[in-house]
Amino acid sequence: MKANVHGEERGPGAHRGPEPIASKVTLNINSSASKFLMNVITAEDYQHIYWPKLDSAIDQLLTQSPGDCIPISYEQIYSCVYKCVCQQHSEQMYCDLITKITSHLRLISEELQVSCPDAYIERFNAALSQYMGALQSIVPLFIYMNKFYIETKLNRDLRDDLIKLFTEQVAEKHVPTLMPLLIEAQSTPFKITPSTMANIVKGLYTLRPDWAQLAPSLFSKFIPNILPPALESKLSEYAAEDQKLQRELMQNGFARGDQSRKRAGEELIFSCHATSLPSVRVWVSMRNQHRDAVHLLQIKAFSFGNFSLCAIDHPSLELTRLLDINQNGV
């Protein structure tokens, strides 16, 4: 044991005075401040703050006309979706989105049911175009939910789900009425605009490809490979069909015009290094950009093995048949 200069003993057993006790500071944070600091979105917050913003934006997107600019902030909507997904509200948000769009499509279907036959095709086309246009904005806005919930947990895709909704809620209910009207309109030149017919046919094929079998001749005018390939043995039947179409066009006031003055592209001759065959005259149905017409074309055929291939590539013509011509001619 040792003593210091003041005579105080120092050693292992020496008594030590009390050390100062550090004061304890308690940080009292109320629940609202804690929620703010942690960016927590409760179920109540989702229902009363975030979903109403999304609901309003979806309403505007579903009812906008093609080409219209609507006053919504895509950045704000995307941010809402992102925050809700991060806070585990993906499932509820997906259910709310499907419920919202389903209700909208049911209203569209009810409006179509009371449409008169003369306006039925145009109204269906408008509904289809408006919905497909809305999907181009809705799907990107919910891309974060699609990537981290629908694709990951449901093994599906948001766009496919929304297209399926239109198929089930609208198209399937109206195809039995729509298809006969389209077939009738096809037989009457310019009863509806070609763009309307093309949009509906392509849209129906996108929704359900098997619907093409309900009217193969109609769908084949806009969708490739619907009809079986042309056969050499049926060339005479093809010619008869095209002659019938010529007569029907003439009966409806479409004159053939001056046949002595040929238009550009009416006579197409091709050159090839392969051995050529004598020229053959075949009937080919085509659609001109400005009018429906059928022409008798002079086509030079060329040999590729046992058969010759006749193909025409012209910017103003849309061929409905690609013909294989036998070496012996037609």
Any idea what the Cα angle at residue 198 is, between residues 193 and 199, rounded to 5°?
A: 100
35: tokens are 């929620």
Tokens of 264: 């550009």
Task: Identify the pLDDT of residue 223.
Answer: 92
- Contact criterion met (CB below 8 Å) for 148 and 90: yes
Work out whether the CA dihedral 289, 290, 295, 300 comes out positive or negative. negative
Let me know: does 14 contact 3? Beta carbons within 8 Å: no
Beta bridge partners of 1: none
Whole-Å CA distances, 232 to 59, 220, 321, 325: 55, 19, 12, 6
Task: Give me the pLDDT at residue 33, please.
Answer: 44
How confident is residue 114, by pLDDT bands cut at 50, 70 and 90?
very high
DSSP H or E segment with residue 150: none
Please check whether residue 307 is in contact with residue 277, taking contact to mean a CB–CB distance below 8 angstroms: no
Other Cβ atoms less than 10 A from the Cβ of 239: the count is 16
Do residues 171 and 207 lie in contact, with contact meaning Cβ atoms separated by under 8 Å? yes
Q: Is residue 261 helix, strand or coil?
A: coil
Query: Quick one: pLDDT at residue 227?
Result: 86
What is the per-residue pLDDT across 213-239, written as a single tens digit (0 to 9) for each? 999 989 998 999 898 888 888 888 888
| % pLDDT > 70, the chain | 64
Q: Read out DSSP for 162-181?
A: HHHHHIIIIIHHHHHHHHHH
Amino acid at 162: L
Q: What is the pLDDT of residues 25-34, one digit of tens each?
A: 444 445 444 4
Q: How confident is the model at residue 303 (pLDDT cuts 50, 70, 90)?
A: very low
Which has the closest alpha carbon to 158: 94, 72, 230, 224?
A: 94
> For residue range 258-300, what is the model confidence (pLDDT) as tens digits?
556 655 555 544 443 433 333 333 344 443 333 333 343 434 3
Burial (CB count within 10 angstroms: exposed 0-12, middle 13-18, buried 19+), residue 278 = exposed
